[in-house]
């Protein structure tokens, strides 16, 4: 069963500087994680429920299954990505594993 890592970034102090670093430095680290099938990202532009606009950006990293995800983040490339995430993720950012229903 396909799984994805779902990352929810809270609002950075400087959104444009965040995105500049994100696309120039973080995404290239993500793209070489072994086993990564697909990645998708985008800004959360509105809270459709009228509640708090909690998150600034979301990213989803797809892997064939949970073992592939774990192997990916156990690799040097995965560790480099995780270390960079720790550097850039604003306080309150979240990260979940989702089992995608096919």
Residues lying near its own copies in the complex (CB under 8 A): 3-6, 40-49, 51, 53-55, 58, 66, 93-101
- CB closer to its own copies out of 79 and 94: 94
- CB closer to its own copies out of 6 and 34: 6
- CB closer to its own copies out of 58 and 71: 58
- Name the β-bridge partners of 9: 57
Phi, psi of 5 (to 5 degrees): -90, 125
Q: At its nearest, how many Å lie between its own copies and the CB of residue 100? A: 4
Q: At its nearest, how many Å lie between its own copies and the CB of residue 75? A: 16
Q: At its nearest, how many Å lie between its own copies and the CB of residue 11? A: 13
Q: At its nearest, how many Å lie between its own copies and the CB of residue 41? A: 5
For 10, other C-beta atoms within 10 Å of its C-beta total: 15
Which of 50, 64, 43 is CA-nearest to residue 1?
Answer: 64
- CB closer to its own copies out of 34 and 44: 44
Give Cα separations from 26 to 13, 83, 94 (angstroms): 17, 10, 16
Which of 61, 53, 47 is CA-nearest to residue 10?
Answer: 53
């Amino acid at each position: 069963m396909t799984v994805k890592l779902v990352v929810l970034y809270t609002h950075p102090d400087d959104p444009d500087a965040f995105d500049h670093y994100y696309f120039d430095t973080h995404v290239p680290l993500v793209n070489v994680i072994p086993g990564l099938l697909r990645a998708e990202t985008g800004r959360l532009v509105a809270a459709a429920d009228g509640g708090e606009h909690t998150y600034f950006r979301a990213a989803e990293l797809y892997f064939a299954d949970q073992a592939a995800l774990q192997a990916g983040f156990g690799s040097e490339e995965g560790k480099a990505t995780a270390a960079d995430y720790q550097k850039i993720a604003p306080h309150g950012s979240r990260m979940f594993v989702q089992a995608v229903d096919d």
